[in-house]
Amino acid sequence: MNSKAVKESEPSVPADLRKALAAAPKAKAQWKDLTPIARRDFISWIESAKQAETRKRRIERACSMLAAGKRRPCCYAIVPFNLYKALAASPKAKAQWRDLTPFARRGFISWIDAAQQPEMHKRRIEKACVMLAAGKKRP
């Protein structure tokens, strides 16, 4: 196993968020200082909005939080990177994930994180994607 830390890939910043950050220098400076995972969490939180107005409010709130020095979106269940990648590879699972309530998302994340062994953790992520693609709302 490689002892070097795996470099996380840089997330693609949506145009509306990029524009808002450009107009808010303090927020933009904080954004540049975030890890790729923290940036992904903000982007995921913004993109999970179901309505355009909610998305707009989240972008405004993200800029406000960043300008205040926050490094993560408030009250948002952080999706483990390996689950994030697995959801990206399964459009049906990803669509179902988007429709889940924050409580239901935390249920899946807690179930996955409760796995003690790395192999079991990996299997639970795979199983979660299968369940989500089948329309299940909890593990």
Instruction: Kindly report the pTM of this predicted structure.
Output: 0.55
DSSP state of 135: T
Residue with tokens 């003690």: 116
Report the candidate in 100, 106, 107 with the shortest Cα–Cα distance to residue 50: 100
88-106: pLDDT as tens digits? 899 999 999 988 887 888 8
Domain ranges of the chain: 15-67, 81-133
> What pLDDT score does 79 carry?
74
pLDDT of 8 higher than 60: no
Q: For residue 81, report the phi and psi dihedrals to the nearest 5 degrees.
A: -55, -40
* Mean pLDDT value across residues 48-56: 91
Report the candidate in 70, 91, 81 with the shortest Cα–Cα distance to residue 10: 81
